[in-house]
Amino acid sequence: MKAEHTTLRVTLLGTGIPNPDINAFGTATMIEAGDQKVLIDCGRGTVIRMAQMGFALGHTDTVILSHFHSDHYSGIFDLLMTGTIQQPFSNRGGPLHVFGPPGVEDIAQGAWIATRPDRDIRVADGEIDPEHMRIIPHTYAEGVVFDKGGLKIIAIEVDHGEFIRPAYAFRVEYCGHVFVHSHDTRYNENLIAQAQGADVFVHEVAAATPETFAANPRAKIAIDHHATPHEVGRVFALTQPKLAMLTHLVLLPPHPMPITRVTAEVAEEYGGMVLVAEDMMTIDIGRNITVIPFHHGARSR
């Protein structure tokens, strides 16, 4: 089989947090393997990032949600509606299949109600099939969520806080290649156990300076739901991925911790290479691991 057919391609469409940031949109990751295309999470601005990367909005009809914080699924309504339009930039040919923890049915029902005004107009104009603006919900638990065409996506239950249960990380396997994304979690032994042997391990991180805590005591609520730089370094040390990456940088204002301090604290626990993820990076996992920033032709096809 040709190398390009065995490559696992991962595009980090969005790497941000709830704070609006033009450079870091909500979490969204496109997985491409052979003929399979799956979007994991669909945060704010996913449709814009897909367009920037040259993905038609109908590129996939499958979305897997890690949990129900807004920055991981607020973009799904834009993808649902705009992707229905029968134009080259969208052209989804059917409903949107959305996999999520229990509660995903509420998103499907709410979306059908919320999209009705737009749907009624476009149906009256003969633009769309109304069923293409429907979410088909699928509830999953820990274990295999998707297994098709050699692509396997495995949900790993993690700890994102008492009131955010369940929440999941994902292990993606294809042709012997492994990509792991922590999504949102505290330090978690279950994730460490199931992230072994990863070619690429992308992990979230959170930190705040004493000045930020003094100015904004509620920042502690957010920080306590995530992994510190030292903890992330320990996770990498215990899993030893070929490439470690930081994403979803919870570095809160008004006095955010400099990224150099974050990476220095990670390095106190882990001596391997660590990259800081950016929106629209493409990671090709094949005979080697290649990370291509957007401005260096990540979408060259």
**Residue range 231-251, pLDDT digits in tens:** 999 999 999 999 999 999 999
Q: Is residue 282 part of a domain?
A: yes
Q: What is the CATH number of the domain that holds 124?
A: 3.60.15.10
Q: How confident is the model at residue 296 (pLDDT cuts 50, 70, 90)?
A: confident
Domain total in the chain: 1
Q: Residue 31 pairs with which residues in a beta bridge?
A: 10, 38
Q: Is residue 30 part of a domain?
A: yes
**Residue range 92-121, pLDDT digits in tens:** 999 999 999 999 999 999 999 999 999 999
Q: Is residue 213 part of a domain?
A: yes
Q: Is residue 79 part of a domain?
A: yes
Q: Is residue 107 part of a domain?
A: yes
pLDDT at 301: 43
Q: Is residue 199 part of a domain?
A: yes
Question: Is 2 a residue whose pLDDT tops 70?
Answer: no
**Residue range 152-170, pLDDT digits in tens:** 999 999 999 888 899 999 9
pLDDT at 282: 98
pTM comes to 0.95
Q: Is residue 109 part of a domain?
A: yes
**Residue range 192-203, pLDDT digits in tens:** 999 999 999 999
Residues 285-300, mean pLDDT to the nearest whole number: 84
Q: Is residue 301 part of a domain?
A: no
Q: Which domain holds residue 239?
A: 3-296
